[in-house]
Structure 1
Amino acid sequence: MSHAIPDTTSDADDVVADLREAREERDSAEAAVEEYGADALETLREHYEDARRLLRTYEGSATGSGDFQAYIEFESEVADLVESVDDDLPAADAFEAYDDALDKRRVTEDDFERARDALDPVAERVELLDEREDAREAYQQARRAAREVRDDLDAEVSRLERVARLAEADPDAPVADLREPIEAYDTAARAAVEDRLGAWPARDVLDWLDSLTAFPLVDAPRVPPDLLTYVREHDAGAESVTDLLDYADQSVSKLDHYVADPAALKRVVGANRSFLRRIDGDFLTLGWPPDPADVLRYRADELVSALDRLGADDAVARLRDVQAFARRERYATLREAAVARDELTQEERQRVAAGDVEADLKAAREARERVAEALDEY
């Protein structure tokens, strides 16, 4: 698989600069709030919102020759608001100007506009809270971006280290010595399952699959509960999986000659037809290239148990051969060569030979370190 080499240095430098700037802006925004006191500004914002609300609520009814009762209520609420404003609050005198603009026997829309303008100094102070919140969010976003780049660099370092290591594998290693016993086992495992699908009762096959949930390293397909219940409780469960699939394609009237409850078969088996058709022995195979020796040994132990329950003696014997091979020192060497042949592209081999991978790895490590240090510092 070919990989484009990312511009790790540029990405790292960008997020470090962004993080530094975001931290400075956050600190500046917090300092601006602390100059007046966060609690004082929060209280000021409440008064500001109340003052703006009064203007919105009464502008239509308290102006001109509008509702006199609304005008009286408006003037009373304005007076209560202005009186509640502590003189020590930032820009507190703006509320006096707000009151002056509205303290008339008859207020006009222009008076409301002047009252709004009078609150501008309050808006400027209150906006400091919003600016602090925005700066904090921008700072958190910058940290998230930096962490993402750090994680990408971690992955890139791991990939390049793997490329460099695999490039050292022996290109002439006789990997066929390993591939042949693994392919022989995989073929035997598939054949055993294929044979049981046509020969065993469906309930025995599905019971066997269901029992494999006890083996986490055997990735057996999960049997649908309704299908498992059906084959256990109906006579049709004595038929093979192959026959059940054939029955599911027939009409209810024709099925009446073969099964006691054709409708149940059509409903349950028909609904799970795709699952039954997908059953094969692939989940029992080792695949190529195989797992590392320690992983293979653990998995093979569970596979042996699964195959024993299937009565697949030939597959068990061939798996034992692979297990024995995995205990030998040659296994790791041949597997590494197999993985190298499977994964490395010609371009990657050429880059290793030219020293480009080593240079990329050095740059990625240094970039990762810069980002990690910035996350610690900022």
Structure 2
Amino acid sequence: MTERAEDLATELAAAHEEYEALEAEIADHGEDDLEALADAHDRATTLLDRYEDRATGTGDFEGFIEFQESFDALVEGLDGDLPRREAFGDANDRFDKRRLSSSDFAAAREALAPVGERVELLDERETRRERYREARRRVLGRQNDLADDIADLERLGALADVDLDAPVGDLRETVEGYNDRIEAAFRRFRGEASAREVLAFVERTEQYPLVPFRPPPDDLREYVETSPVGTESLTQLLDYADYSPSKLGHYVDDPERLRKNVAIHRSYLDGLDATALEIDWPPPPARECRFLLRELVAVVGRFAPDEVVSRLHDLREFARNERYERLRRVATAREELTERDRERIKNGAVEADLESAKREHERLTEALSAHPGP
């Protein structure tokens, strides 16, 4: 269940208030004094825990002496202004005898209990600090979710005035006509050009960030550049990779090298198709489309027939016309809007939800500003 912004803001304010209250209490006691007191209490309880079994009864006189001397030295070494210093003296008085029992250690712990309660303020501060941080994290998480919701709702709202019945056939035919032709052209290129040419082409596309081919693996690229079989097609290389070692030996000089550098990259080679050269449907906004088409013309022209490149020029000319963006928005709306989305746009629910999300987002922004975190 999604938490309301108001509830999260209230929890954040409460966590901040609790943390600040404890900070004020620690300041009243003096943080340096509390730190010194916590260190002394820790050393005292460590001695109690370490020596209780050895120093009680009559079995370990050496342990008894070590404990008395260590605890006495601890108390004597405490600053005279240390808060609640007397509690350490009271605990030490329980050990001023010739024989110690478990009850003496219990009494010492009881004498130190008020010190423990005081220094627990430091541990409690860490607990409240983490609670405060967690409250902020929850607010930030909800704020990020709301930002995503706002972006989605604004996208839906932007499609509210789109005429879904407008014909988009001209745009679709231009895009799909190009995609069909580039797929066929690349299939021919892959099947007829040498593997060396194809991989060199793919590698050169790294200069064009909008044409997202995966670069060839280094060992595969180096193999086709240096091996005589690099002059054969990728299709033929993959066929070779399926041959038995004895049969492969009739076609290549080093069968094992081919299997090592080609067979292991079968998934890469099988996936090397025209996808990176195709245009999505719906196509991108006009400005983005023009940048994409400029790169595609430069790349596709390296291997595809002029008729395929001319399709790109046709689409680039189309993208300069305001009609392109109008039809693109229609196509986008048809692809993205569900029946429920259309109904929500129609009855005003999208607009209402957008306003609500913006109010919640603003409320959380205010909460974070008022409670900046420890």
CA displacement, residues 180-225 of structure 1 (integer Å, 9 cap, x when unaligned)? 1000111111111100111001110011001111111110122011
Query: Which amino acid counterpart does residue 233 of structure 1 have in structure 2?
Result: T
What's the secondary structure of 1:351's corresponding residue?
Answer: helix
RMSD: 1.2
Which whole-Å CA distance do the structure 2 matches of 1:310 and 1:358 have between them? Answer: 49
| In 1, Cα distance between equivalents of 2:310 and 2:192 | 22
Equivalent pairs: percent with the same residue?
45
Q: Which runs of 5+ in 1 are unaligned?
A: 1-5
**Would the aligned equivalents of 1:62 and 1:70 in 2 still touch at CA under 8 Å?**
yes
Query: What CA distance in whole angstroms lies between the structure 2 residues aligned with 1:355 and 1:311?
Result: 49
Where structure 2 has 5 or more consecutive residues not aligned to the other structure, the ranges are none
For residue 241 of structure 1, what is the amino acid of its counterpart?
L
User: Is 1:352 aligned with 2:345?
Assistant: yes
Deviation, 1:355, is 1.3
1:228 maps onto 2:221 in alignment: yes
Deviation of residue 356 (structure 1)?
1.3
Matched, 1:328 2:321: yes
C-alpha separation between the residues in 2 aligned to 1:92 and 1:138?
32
* Cα pair 1:307 1:313 within 8 Å, conserved: no
Q: Report the counterpart of residue 293 of structure 2 in structure 1.
A: 300
Partner of residue 121, structure 1: 114
- Cα distance in 2, alignment partners of residues 113 and 315 from structure 1: 92
Alpha-carbon distance in structure 2 between the residues aligned to 1:311 and 1:21 = 67
Distance 2:18 2:303 in 1: 67
Aligned partners of 1:124, 1:91: CA distance in 2, in Å? 11
Partners of 2:296 and 2:48 lie apart in 1 by 78
The question of 1:54 aligning with 2:47 is answered yes
Matched residues in 1 for 2:125 and 2:81: separation?
22
| TM-score calculated relative to the size of structure 1 | 0.96
How far apart are residue 57 of structure 1 and its match?
Answer: 1.5
C-alpha displacement at 1:148, in angstroms?
1.2
The counterpart of 1:138, out of the listed 131, 134, 141, is 131
Separation in 2 of the partners of 1:51 and 1:224?
64
Q: Which moved more, 1:303-312 or 1:149-158?
A: 303-312
Q: Which residue of 2 aligns with 1:45?
A: 38
Task: Tell me the equivalent position of 2:265.
Answer: 272
Instruction: Kindly provide the amino acid, as one letter, of the partner of residue 90 in structure 1.
Output: P
CA contact (8 A) 2:186 2:304 kept: no
**Mapping of 1:102-117 within 5 angstroms?**
102-117=95-110
How far residue 90 of structure 1 moved from its aligned partner, in angstroms, is 2.6
Cross-structure match for 1:171: 164
Stretch of structure 1 that moved more, 327-336 or 67-76 = 67-76
Letter in 1 for 2:297: V
Corresponding residue to 1:287 among 280, 290, 303: 280
Counterpart AA for 2:323 = R
Q: What is residue 101 of structure 1 aligned with on the other side?
A: 94
Describe how 1:58-77 pairs up with structure 2 within 5 A: 58-77=51-70
TM-score, structure 2 length as denominator? 0.97
Task: Give the letter for the 1:221 counterpart.
Answer: R
